[in-house]
Amino acid sequence: RLFTAADSDDICTTIRFINSKRPWTTIMGVGWGYGANMLTKYLVEAGESTPLTAAVCIDNPFDLQEATRTFPHNIALDQKLTAGLVDILRANKELFQGKDKDFDVQKALSANCLRDFDGAISMVSHGFANVDDFYSENSVRPLVAGVKIPVLFIQ
């Protein structure tokens, strides 16, 4: 899979690794943008079992549907994220091609916005039929109350 705000597994793996190497260390997490969504998602999933003491989430989109709409302040970031994902896909496109795969690689490679890219690749890799369901299921706005450690949200 490619990076998506729906994934918390990278964060979980990293925290587990750091904690296994330095179990006596106080660990705090910081996430920015879609990384803040990923960190919040991880915190809800891990609950009280997280080794993190606290976290800071900066510019968390909270609602992925709203964040991917074309608002003027989101356009530059959206285009930058899309370009980065397209570059990663271009370098690894053979992993997403094949008769048994439902990815629309050509659409993703020509995507001009994150929503188009997610509709061609990300939602498919997570088993969703449409991008709105994918965004709705992976937005953290309704989950924030389930975070069990102190978190500072800075918008």
Q: What is the reported pLDDT for 108?
A: 95
Q: What is the pTM of this model?
A: 0.86
Question: How far apart are the C-alpha atoms of 106 and 8, rounded to whole Å?
Answer: 27
Class of domain 1-62+140-154: alpha beta
H or E element at residue 31: strand 27-32
Question: In the numeric block, which tokens belong to residue 59?
Answer: 């510019």
Q: How, if at all, do strands 27-32 and 151-154 pair?
A: unpaired
d(CA 132, CA 20) in angstroms, rounded, equals 38
Q: What's the residue count for the chain?
A: 155
Amino acid occupying residue 76: A
Burial class of residue 141, CB neighbours in 10 A (0-12, 13-18, 19+): middle
What is the tally of helices (H) and strands (E) in the chain?
8, 3
Bridge partners of 59, per DSSP, are none
- Who contacts 119 (Cβ-Cβ below 8 Å, separation ≥6)? 104, 107, 130, 131
Which ranges in the chain are annotated with CATH 3.40.50.1820? Answer: 1-62+140-154
The span from the first CA to the last CA of the chain, in angstroms, equals: 28
d(CA 145, CA 155): 17
pLDDT, residue 117, reads 93
DSSP classification of residue 30: E
The confidence score (pLDDT) of residue 71 equals: 62
pLDDT by residue for the chain (155 residues), tens only, comes to 567 788 898 899 999 999 999 999 999 999 998 899 999 999 999 999 999 999 999 999 899 888 887 666 677 778 888 999 999 999 999 988 876 778 999 999 999 999 999 999 999 988 999 999 999 999 999 999 999 999 999 99
Q: What is the pLDDT of residue 72?
A: 61
- What amino acid occupies position 141? R
pLDDT of residue 152: 98
Q: What is the per-residue pLDDT for 78?
A: 82
